[in-house]
Amino acid sequence: MDLFAGCGGFGLGLEQAGFTPIFVNELNDDARGTYIANRKDRHEHFARGLDESKWLNEFSSSDARKMVSKKGYLDGLQKLFKSEFEISHGEIDLIVGGPPCQGFSGIGHRRSYAVEKKILPSNHLYKDMAKIIGHLRPRAFVFENVRGLLTGRWTEEGNTGEIWKDVKNAFAGIGEYTLAAELVYAKNYGVAQNRPRVILVGVRHDVIGKAATTKAEAEHIDGTGISSGFLPKGAPGKAPNIVDVLGDLVDPDYKNGGSTTEYPSKAACETQRWFRTSADGSRLAGKGSPVTEHDYSKHHPDVIKKFKAMIRGGDFEATKKFAQRVLPTEWGPTGPSITATSLPDDYVHFEQPRTLTVREWARLQGFPDWYEFKGKRTTGGLRRAGNPLEGIHFRELPKYTQIGNAVPVPMAKAIGEHLASLLRKGRK
């Protein structure tokens, strides 16, 4: 089960690791539409009875809170799993979820409004995830979130780390699960980003053969994810460079504000061949084959002039954009130093005076080129930020934001492969 699934980065990585998604929960229609659109042809249950205008489906939900508050919903869901997949209570292998993280993010100064974290409804959705896990009793679960969660405070006068403590207590309170947690970095799992993420793993005590973690013990699980064997160590230094990730998409004839609809060159390395392989693995897109989502933003001439100066490394008028910089073609000794967020203009292309296209942004997160995205290309202002001070919590999720919010696919695959191995051992 994929809770707070967004556009499906975590889910896709788990599928690549051998898992089959049976249910998706995501509040935003466009993000949920992206998730289902990329699975309905591969998993028949996602296509059944599908209303593509609203993405309605019995194997999906838009609201985690209604899942736990609506009487009989989770019991009905378990009956559905039994009838459709012959999965009895307690036999779901894995539930994963990354509740919305805007309230915990370390880039809070980029938000339009600052409010106490305690009053943001989305900051309490981890409790709903814990309730769903407690009711369905999967063999394992994974909670994922941003690094800022580790030091977050509910109020300005609160204690550093109090939110993370409450999160750990909520999952330890389920009972019968052994917990471990780790701050991991995407660069150690074959991703062209640094991207730190907090991962909390719970494995049912009868599966792992270890005592369940109590609330008192949950205080001390930080840094135990890898050492306890619940998470893979990764392979530092294996992240591809930017040229390997994006080089074959460089169109020498691109137009400012235009689009490239065909691959301008053939794949030049294994990384590019992977991105260009079809979903079923049978075809490799060659030069001249169709490519989607490769549309360019239309920049003002002065912006283009500045971008050219940035690429050359010369002087230019300082930008007001947060941390806007040119993508490096080579990593330093510690590996990737970038993190793709919801803002596509954080980075300038390494060779051309422009920001990145949706397809390039998706590659930074490890999405293959066959993956399609629903909704607007981009948006801004209240539509993206909302206004919590006035009770406006709805946020649009355009394509760039969907991608920026996702769990990198290769990291999700590595976690999935590791957990699959643990669960297989637990069946013996």
The pLDDT tens digits for 103-115 are 665 544 344 446 6
Is the per-residue pLDDT at 300 higher than 50?
Answer: yes
Lowest mean pLDDT among 74-88, 151-165, 184-198, 308-322: 308-322
Alpha-carbon torsion 250, 320, 258, 405, what sign? positive
Is the per-residue pLDDT at 384 higher than 60?
Answer: no
Domains of the chain, CATH where assigned: 2-238+409-427 (3.40.50.150)
Is the per-residue pLDDT at 385 higher than 50?
Answer: no
**pLDDT level of residue 315 (50, 70, 90 thresholds):** low
Neighbour tally for 31: CB within 10 Å: 27
Lowest mean pLDDT among 256-265, 271-280, 376-385: 376-385
pLDDT value for 389: 46
Cα 355 from Cα 343, distance rounded (Å):
10
Q: Clarify whether 7 is annotated catalytic.
A: no
pLDDT value for 174: 98
**Model's pTM, two decimal places?**
0.92
- The percentage of residues in the chain with a pLDDT greater than 90, rounded to a whole number, is 81
pLDDT value for 115: 65
Is the per-residue pLDDT at 428 higher than 70?
Answer: no
Say if CB 405 and CB 342 are below 8 A apart: yes
pLDDT value for 323: 62
Q: In this predicted model, what pLDDT tens digit does every residue of 182-210 receive, in sequence order?
A: 999 999 999 999 999 999 999 999 999 99
Angle at 407 between CA 402 and CA 412, to 5 degrees: 145
Q: At a CB cut-off of 8 Å and minimum separation 6, what does 413 contact?
A: 13, 14, 16, 17, 189
Residue 9 DSSP label:
H
pLDDT value for 123: 81
**pLDDT level of residue 401 (50, 70, 90 thresholds):** very high
pLDDT value for 313: 87
Provide the token pair at 369.
Answer: 């080129």
Is the per-residue pLDDT at 391 higher than 60?
Answer: no
pLDDT value for 392: 40
User: What is the average per-residue pLDDT within 352-361?
Assistant: 97
User: What is the average per-residue pLDDT within 74-94?
Assistant: 97
- The percentage of residues in the chain with a pLDDT greater than 70, rounded to a whole number, is 89
**pLDDT level of residue 393 (50, 70, 90 thresholds):** very low
**Which of 101, 203, 249, 267 does the annotation list as catalytic?**
101
